[in-house]
């Protein structure tokens, strides 16, 4: 009888492991809609070490809208200032705790404002309640996003994140998968000639970081 009990425990352990492996996360493509129900954007969430971020990967213009589409984030903070809006990471620092995501921030590319952000994923992984707010969560607004298929966009169609100086923190956005994590390009070291003894020039301080989360 002991071997039957051991087998039962092994099966329960395997089932629990499989359930954990199949638990839904926010990784992937998501469809955002405005207050009128019009689809205005697609975002792609990726994960690294339990922290999620999202890039804007597709935008939609409302029929009859004659406003000029802004393509550059002139008012974004830090190194995102002057970056191309399409492909830009707008949600970052979202720490996962089960179906909840907390401690994040979101940038409004229209005016460069930075808000606190939190998200709640539905149990079936098909809806994501996204809330941006100032101060406390009560002072904010929630949108419900809908999950898109993992193949909603071809890898080669996913826009790269490009900063004002033409650099990109993503080595190859076309190779980035919805469930993968991005890597950051490291600046190459430039060796000075041995004969050069000039002192290093002082550098400008880094851009001010986003408000503490």
Which of 66-70, 117-121, 144-148, 178-182 is predicted with the least confidence, judged by mean pLDDT?
Answer: 178-182
Contacts of 164 (CB under 8 A, 6+ apart): 79, 81, 82, 83
Domain boundaries along the sequence of the chain = 26-175
Distance CA 77, CA 50 (A): 25
| 56 three-state secondary structure | strand
| 78 three-state secondary structure | helix
Distance CA 35, CA 18 (A): 38
The two structure tokens encoding residue 17: 């492991």
pLDDT digits (tens, 9 = 90+) for 36-50: 899 999 999 999 998
pLDDT digits (tens, 9 = 90+) for 98-152: 999 999 999 999 999 999 999 999 999 999 999 999 988 988 999 999 999 999 9
The CATH number, out of the four listed (2.60.40.420, 3.30.420.40, 3.40.50.2300, 2.40.128.520), of the domain defined by the range 26-175: 2.40.128.520
Distance CA 172, CA 186 (A): 14
Task: Let me know: does 25 contact 125? Beta carbons within 8 Å.
Answer: yes
Q: Give alpha helix (H) positions in 164-209.
A: none
């Amino acid at each position: 009888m002991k071997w039957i009990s051991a087998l039962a425990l092994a099966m329960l352990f395997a089932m629990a492991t499989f359930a954990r492996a199949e638990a839904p996360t926010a990784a992937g493509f998501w469809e955002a809609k405005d207050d009128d129900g019009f689809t205005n954007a697609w975002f792609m969430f990726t994960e690294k070490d339990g922290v999620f971020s999202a890039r804007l990967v597709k935008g939609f213009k409302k029929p009859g809208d004659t406003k000029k589409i802004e393509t550059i984030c002139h008012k974004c903070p830090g190194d995102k200032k002057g970056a191309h809006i399409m492909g830009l990471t707008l949600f970052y620092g979202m720490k996962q705790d089960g179906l909840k995501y907390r401690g994040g921030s979101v940038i409004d590319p229209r005016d460069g404002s930075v808000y606190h952000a939190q998200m709640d994923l539905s149990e079936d992984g098909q809806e994501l309640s996204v809330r941006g707010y100032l101060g406390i969560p009560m002072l904010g607004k929630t949108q419900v996003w809908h999950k898109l298929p993992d193949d909603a966009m071809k890898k080669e169609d996913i826009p790269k994140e490009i900063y004002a100086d033409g650099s990109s923190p993503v080595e190859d956005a076309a190779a980035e998968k919805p469930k993968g994590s991005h890597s950051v390009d490291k600046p190459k070291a430039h060796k000075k000639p041995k004969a050069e003894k000039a002192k290093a020039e002082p550098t400008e301080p880094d851009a001010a970081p986003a408000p503490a989360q």
